[in-house]
Amino acid sequence: MSSILYLERKDIDVQKWNACISNSENENIYGYAEYLDIMAVHWDALVINDYQAVMALPWKQKLGQTYIYTPRFTSPLAIYGDIPESIKIKDILDFIPMKFRLWDLNLVNNLSLFSPSAIKRKNHILNLLPEYELLRKNYRPSYRNLLKKAGAMGNHVTKDILIDSWSVRLRIWVSFDASTISRPLKLRNCMVEIGFRISTSVWLVVVGVVI
């Protein structure tokens, strides 16, 4: 018999959680426990059948309200894993505790069929592995013209930017507080410690979520 459990972060088995994310068809870096620990103010989860499927519930409080939200530097999350046929997505959503009265969470899963308040949005995923010149050839002509104008004004492409210096620039460009800006640095250090190699393309995706 299938079961759904609501677990607070302190009760989550990180090894089983990460194994579920890793083996999921919609696996992405945003679902791993280490990523959520750093990027989310708080997070709990729904766990189905001993981590056969999982759903992260990032949350925080504002003006006395406890609500689910999408953390900064985080693209859409998902209901990860192998959802049993006996459990419908609506069953999972209905199991979210009532204390989370508000939801503002982006998910890969299409929830518009199960929740009248859900909004279906497009999510663009860019393959950043090809060389820059190849990527540039696929830009719209108007964008290439803008790049030419930017070059004529003395702007240029800089490579191998250190995350530390990037975070300083980002704080100037975007009105984030120091605590928010420090999260990518903490993530980098955490992933190095556990041996998780973050490629340049992944960092560009993290940046792209914000810009």
Q: What is the mean pLDDT of each run of 10 residues along the chain (211 residues)?
A: 90 96 88 90 95 95 90 83 87 90 73 58 72 86 90 78 58 59 69 53 43 36
Q: Is residue 17 part of a domain?
A: yes
Determine the pLDDT at residue 207. 43
Residues 94 and 16 in one domain: yes
Residues 169 and 152 in one domain: no
CB atoms within 10 A of CB 116: 6
Residues 87 and 29 in one domain: yes
- The total domain count for the chain is 3
Determine the pLDDT at residue 199. 41
Determine the pLDDT at residue 105. 77
CB atoms within 10 A of CB 90: 12
Determine the pLDDT at residue 64. 86
Q: Is residue 117 part of a domain?
A: no
Q: Is residue 47 part of a domain?
A: yes
Evaluate if pTM is beyond 0.85: no
Residues 21 and 39 in one domain: yes
Residues 186 and 151 in one domain: no
Residues 147 and 203 in one domain: no
Residues 54 and 95 in one domain: yes
Q: Is residue 109 part of a domain?
A: no
Q: How do beta strands 65-69 and 102-104 pair?
A: parallel
Residues 172 and 209 in one domain: yes
Domain range for 141 is 129-157
3-state secondary structure the chain: CCCEEEECHHHCCHHHHHHHHHCCCCCCHHHCHHHHHHHCCEEEEEEECCCCEEEEEEEEEECCEEEEECCCCCCCECEEECCCCCCCHHHHHHCCCCCCCEEECCECCCCCCCCCCCCCCCCCCCCCCCCHHHHHHCCCHHHHHHHHHHHHCCCCCCCCCCHHHHHHHHHHHCCCCHHHHHHHHHHHHHHHHCCCCCCHHHHHHHHHHHC
Determine the pLDDT at residue 74. 81
Determine the pLDDT at residue 126. 73
Residues 62 and 15 in one domain: yes
